[in-house]
Amino acid sequence: MLTTLSGMSMPIRIKILILAMLPLLLMFGLIIGLVVIQSDTLSKNQANLIRSETLLSKKQELLKYVELARASIAPIYDSANENDDNAKQAVIDILNNLTFGEDGYFFAYTYDGTNLVLPYQPEMVGQNIWDVEDNRGFKLLQALILSAQQGGGFVEYYWHKPSRKEQVKKLSYAIGLDKWGWMVGTGVYIDDIDTQVTSVHGKIDETISKTFIGLGIALIITIGIVASLATSIHISARELADQKLQALNRQLIESQEEERTRVARELHDGINQILVSVKYRLDSIKDAKTNEERNQNVALGQATLNEAVRELRRISKDLRPALLDDLGLLAALDDLAKEVTERSGMHVIFEHHLNMDEVSKSAEITLYRVAQEALHNAEKHAHAKAVDIILQQEEGEIVLTIADDGVGFEDIKVSHNAQSMGLKNMRERIENLDGIFSISSQIHQGTEVRAILPIAH
């Protein structure tokens, strides 16, 4: 009889141990899945950002080069007539000698497709290549000539890169010399964008690997602690085991919900330190000699986890609020107003009169960031009690106004204020979209921030 009871006691502990480990492993798998999904989204967002910023930089660079070429030939072209062959040859000579960087050069064609200038492929001079296509089947010359005839424009296509002896993606800008019926332009190769994107992916993958290692260590430590506690407890009755199992399941379910909130759009560098801190707290619980000491360590561990959850949620929303992507600007601003009201006690009111179909994604992001920074200033620096956010459309423009009843400041001191970096960032965001940013304030009379963007953005 004793042997039978002894044989039954071990399977019960093993079952409890298995049931305790299974939700933990499921939670770990869920965390990994969420990290992979969120990291993939972050990686794509970063790649798109790099592409857009790099392309913008390349376009500005091309505009400067074309302006330089236009200025170089202007004294000859402007004074020549339509049939001045000497002037045409002089312009061709100038363009042939204008180069920049390793692979930068200028090209020129007549409007019917005859090549006039192509320094790295002189054998093509004089040939008509109106129907030339790149390796994707795109009629690049026709597109360049059309852009030139329309007053100038950018065209992307594939073309031979002199330093690599192969076709790579190129961005060109062309203008027209209408008096002579010429298209003149230049381009830069943008294959290096893919290299930058690959580098970003590599860094994100490295961050994910480090996070997985930290989570794995935490999982092993947790499994060890749970196994240690399970084998050290003598279970005297099935009811006690069932109660403990139910409590453990509830705890694991709560932990799962907490972990979901901690996985943000960007992985925070401090997560490993937090996990190590939790490990020390759990070790202290195991080594505690009194209930009071154990409870104190439990309370400290809980406080550490709560701090991590709050910080990661704030960082996640600061980086990229999910509502902005899923439901748009109005829902994101409404949520931001409610969150700030709940957190700070300021009474934030959000009103809007705007057709969101006419607002681009870049404008949504910019307006959200401006509102976010303005509310931060009202809470941290202005000590405001109430803030009004008004988003409206006025005569082809989007107008965002944030007014608070805080302590205010003297306008003349803004540029010298140590806290004005946020104001500078807001101004730069708006001006990058060809908008207008203004701020007005007086001591003890509050502050008003206004951002105006054209509908086109």
What type of residue is 344? S
CA 310 to chain centre: 21
Q: Would you place residue 200 in the very low, low, confident or very high pLDDT band (cuts 50, 70, 90)?
A: low
Q: Would you place residue 244 in the very low, low, confident or very high pLDDT band (cuts 50, 70, 90)?
A: low
What type of residue is 11? P
Query: What are the tokens at 233?
Result: 């407890």
pLDDT tens, 25-63? Answer: 787 778 777 777 877 777 677 777 777 887 888 889 889
Report, as an integer, the average pLDDT of 235-257.
56
Q: Would you place residue 130 in the very low, low, confident or very high pLDDT band (cuts 50, 70, 90)?
A: very high
Closest C-alpha among 218, 231, 308, 212 to residue 20: 231
Give dist(CA 441, CA 447) in Å, integer.
4
Query: What are the tokens at 1?
Result: 């009889």
pLDDT tens, 391-432? Answer: 999 888 999 999 999 888 765 455 444 346 667 778 888 888
Closest C-alpha among 120, 126, 127, 128 to residue 98: 120
Give dist(CA 252, CA 19) in Å, integer.
11
pLDDT at 406: 87
Give dist(CA 372, CA 378) in Å, integer.
10
| pTM > 0.95: yes or no | no
CA 439 to chain centre: 27
Give dist(CA 394, CA 454) in Å, integer.
10
Q: Please give the share of the chain, as a percent, with pLDDT higher than 70.
A: 75
CB of 24 closer than 8 Å to CB of 226? yes
CB of 244 closer than 8 Å to CB of 184? no
Query: What are the tokens at 22?
Result: 């299974």
- With 0-12 / 13-18 / 19 or more C-beta atoms within 10 angstroms meaning exposed / middle / buried, residue 271 is buried
SS3 content of the chain, % helix, strand, coil (to 5): 60, 20, 20
Report helix angle 421-432 to 361-380, nearest 10. Answer: 160
pLDDT tens, 307-335? Answer: 767 666 666 666 667 778 888 889 989 98
Write out the DSSP string of 149-184. Answer: HTT-EEEEEEEEETTTTEEEEEEEEEEEETTTTEEE
